Structure 1
Amino acid sequence: MTATHPTHGHTTAKHGLATGMMVFAAVMLMIAGILAVFRGIAAIAEDEVFVSTRNYIFEFDLTGWGWIHLALGVAAVLISMGLFQGAGWARVTGVGIAGLVIIANFLSLPAYPVWSVIMIAMSAFIIWALCSPRKGDT
């Protein structure tokens, strides 16, 4: 009969949470990426969903924003696939792409304000989940 370490249960629970957080980040990044692809396609097609705002300091053509969101969405989907496989590079690049999604949505805030705020919040949760320590990180 061997003695168990008093914090063994705590470490196991912490590892389960970290694994769950990584899956959460992968799923959320996949969803955010797919939604960004759809938003990009809609903007490229110059859909009537978007608001036209005058005199915005970060003014871009709607088609330009569409291509930016489309590219970020495709990258997010690919990175999320790496997260599902547990690739180390995907964790770092996932934080980076989620940060770029936050910036892109902030800059395109006047075109679709409610959706931009939702995407900023989703990306912030993704960054938080990817930066949560895993077993061996502490």
Structure 2
Amino acid sequence: MRKTSANGWQFFVATLLIVIGVINIGQGLVALVTPEFYIATEANMLFLEYGAWGALLALWGAVLVIAGFSVLSGSTWARVFGVVLAALNIIAQLVFLFAMPLWSLVVIAVNVLVIYGMTAGWPSKAELREQEAREAEASYRAGYRAAHEKPREEKARTEKARHAAEKAGGETREHEQPTG
């Protein structure tokens, strides 16, 4: 089980996947509600009409959002899942290219960036193991220091109090019963 926190690439890629998912949901809702918004008519679409594309893109966007949040777990399956979804989203945007050319190209570029971030931007397992070993050693040393320094301080305070009591007039009476 990996105990290190998410790194910058994980947050970056997860954020991009969530944004792409929200964009797909928006594209899908627009296709469902106002298909005349798009440049191409339904006859010019490669396949399916705008209603079907809208439902498909909205559901696909929800899956991308879930994938974005799962990437933050740092697990390998989430990275593979994210790469596969980003690649499939590129294909979906290529098919939707006739309807919104510029917007689809931007989403395709962001998907390529997600794939790059998932495959090239994370530390290797050896680096993670070294980092975990350094953190464990630092934690051990801090605990060791804390455990051995505190009793010395307590002992020094006790001895100072005893010397002060001896100077003040004799022995301290710890077990004396109160009168009253």
TM-score class, shorter: 0.7 to 0.9
2:75 is matched with which residue? 87
2:21 is matched with which residue? 33
Larger CA Rg, structure 1 vs 2: 2
State how many pairs are aligned.
121
User: What whole-Å deviation, never above 9, does each CA across 1:74-107 have from its counterpart, x for those lacking one?
Assistant: 0110011111222322111100110111000001
CA contact (8 A) 2:42 2:49 kept: no
For structure 2, the residue ranges without an aligned partner over 5 or more in a row are 1-5, 128-180
| Pair 1:63 & 2:51 matched | yes
RMSD (Å) for aligned C-alpha atoms: 2.1
Considering fraction of residues, name the structure with more helix. Answer: 2
Would the alpha carbon gap of residues 33 and 137 (structure 1) be closer, same or farther in structure 2, given more than 3 Å must change? farther
Structure 1 counterpart of 2:36, from 48, 61, 74? 48
Give the distance between the partners of 1:61 and 1:25, measured in 2 at CA.
31
CA contact (8 A) 1:53 1:110 kept: no
Structure 2 counterpart of 1:131, from 98, 107, 119? 119
Question: 2:64 aligns to what SS in structure 1?
Answer: helix
Moved over 6 A (4+): none
Question: 1:48 aligns to what SS in structure 2?
Answer: helix
Q: Which of structures 1 and 2 has the larger relative contact order (alpha carbons within 8 angstroms, sep 6+)?
A: 1
Give the distance between the partners of 2:26 and 2:36, measured in 1 at CA.
14
1:59 is aligned with what amino acid? F
Would the alpha carbon gap of residues 20 and 50 (structure 1) be closer, same or farther in structure 2, given more than 3 Å must change? same
Would the alpha carbon gap of residues 54 and 115 (structure 1) be closer, same or farther in structure 2, given more than 3 Å must change? same
> What fraction of aligned residue pairs are identical, expressed as a percent?
28
1:114 is aligned with what amino acid? L
Shift of 1:65: 1.2
2:10 is aligned with what amino acid? M
TM-score (norm 1): 0.78
1:100 is matched with which residue? 88
Question: 2:52 aligns to what SS in structure 1?
Answer: helix
CA contact (8 A) 2:42 2:50 kept: no
TM-score (norm 2): 0.61
